[in-house]
Structure 1
Amino acid sequence: MAHSLISELSIGDTGAKICARVSRLWDFCDVNDDTKIIHSNMVLLDEKGASIHAQVYPPTAQRLKSMLHEGKVYYIDSFCVKQATRTYRPVGNDLMLSLTKWTSFEERIHVPDQFPVVTFPLTLFEDISSFVDRNLFYVDVMGLITQIGDTTVLRPKSRNADSLKRTLQICNASGSTLPVTLWGQRAAAFDAESIYKAGQTQPQVAVFIGTLVKNYRGIGLTVTGSAPCKWYINLDTPEALKLKQRYKIVLTAADNTASTTFIIFGKTAQRLIRRPVESLIEENPTDKDFIPDEILRLTDQSFTWNSDSPDQKTAKHLSNPSSATPTMPASGTKSTQSSVIAKTSANKRTRSTSPAPAAKNLFKQSGTDSSE
């Protein structure tokens, strides 16, 4: 069926037809009444990977939404092309579509395998701070999930009703961490138990799209997700694969008083092993219980550990809460150090990046929070 590409649309077009996937679909509701829809939104994605934001108002929104399914591909016509909104743009396109009661959707039955499913421009962790309280675009981030908080109920400053809140923690390839706070229905929709269980055997790399960046007092820099936010777990992309191929070495270490478990990640582990993780994966068997010789050589060696244990907040850890760096602490740092004998645990898979067993108890959050 003849149609135009999204890149061929021009402002003022009303007679064009496009073929696009409904990549994301969400409602913008009254801040004090989640049942009152102000407008419905979608991100449309064509076969060339171009995307555009589409918006529709009630009562047409209810009619169109009953016909549409997120993820399916449709031929779409009888819409109006206009300038994109000045704030909260979900994609980089300077144009957007206004859908009306005359807009029609016809599902495309035979969709090529190469038709894109999702699009997102990733923002690096080091660039996140430049987006604090800026609302021109939503922000998309990727990271390895290391911590999953329980849901809590509180009343944000921005609304006169209670809301659910869930905070996660993700990290990038260099080990930097970033909190992700989900609000309302998005907090409830996050399948924490399934992701937590899956995280015991393999890394859980998440892409959170449609977030805003906040700097909360007492919490610091965080990305927040409400209705426009969507996430994808373990996408088959080069960026996700790079995060999965990441060192995690689990050691049991002891001094003359007690023993404990240390977990060493990323670049710190590579300095200790003196081999890139990619080379160990390539040269050794894929058996999950196999421990390469380079790691076994750490057994019975002595190190002085500079270790820090994070506060026990509301969280399920996808890695053990204790981590360590085998170096002397810098002057003035608050840390616990001891000279220990490090021994690798024979039943741990130290070659891969699979998270360690989580803390058994799920700590409950204390105090109040009135931010959103």
Structure 2
Amino acid sequence: MLDVMLWSERSTSFPAEDIHKDGQASPRIVIFVGTLVKSFGGMSLSGGSSCKWYINPKVPEAKRLMASAKAVHEPITWVDSAGSSQQKKPAEEKKVSEILNLNPFECQKNEFLVTVTVKKIDGSWWYSACKKCMKTAKRHGDSYKCTNSKCGAIGVPSQRFKLSILARDKTGDTDFIVFGRQAQRLVKKITDTLVADNPAGFIPDELTTLLERTNTWSDSFTYSTTDSDNITFQVNAVVGEVNDGGAVIPATPGASQTSSIMFSGGAGTSLQNTNQSVML
């Protein structure tokens, strides 16, 4: 049995409710095409924008499978999203290769302690943030408006850190996002000061000095990972910097800053609703 994970628009287009309803009385045969084989703690199929499906297709293979499935049919069960129901667990020490091999749907709320070396920092290192919900705010006449449809606040935004970092250990590399105060703990300056002191599009020295530094972070999957099939981790806490002797020097607190559906294989069938850069 294989898990099949549908991402982004494909997950919202799939008629999960209809299949669940019709699957109470008889089996539902679904053929997925345009999928990729993934390994999230085990082999699975991943369906992105090119994925299509055919429900109870009239082809010989599907007819034979239907005939055999009817004899052992069990109603399809609906399983609540693992990400919304899962209890938060204490952070576990992991290697990069280990967190990349985890299933983001099942581990979305888990936190991991990783010790990684910064290799690249994206040139877009801050954004205009809505003061109400911290989402991106964009020009709206003479003011700014929050792009979050559930907020829509209009007003003067704050300037907030958003560092996009490629970091690695001996087992591999991956992308991390560091927001707000956690980024400030790394940079040791507030966003407003750096924005005022540096021209647009310039990467300040305070950021470039982070390159080749090794840090221990507590991180988790970003919510966009389960929407886009692009695995990224958010740094929730900067634990400290690793010195030449291998010891972790605890990070000092920064100053206050104003600025998918998954089909699970197993004994039964279930549905889960789940610019410029610098580098060395």
> Smaller-chain TM-score range?
0.3 to 0.5
Larger RCO, structures 1/2 (Cα 8 Å, 6+ apart):
2
When the two structures are superposed, what TM-score results if normalisation uses the length of structure 2? 0.34
> Which of these two proteins has the greater Rg computed from alpha carbons?
1
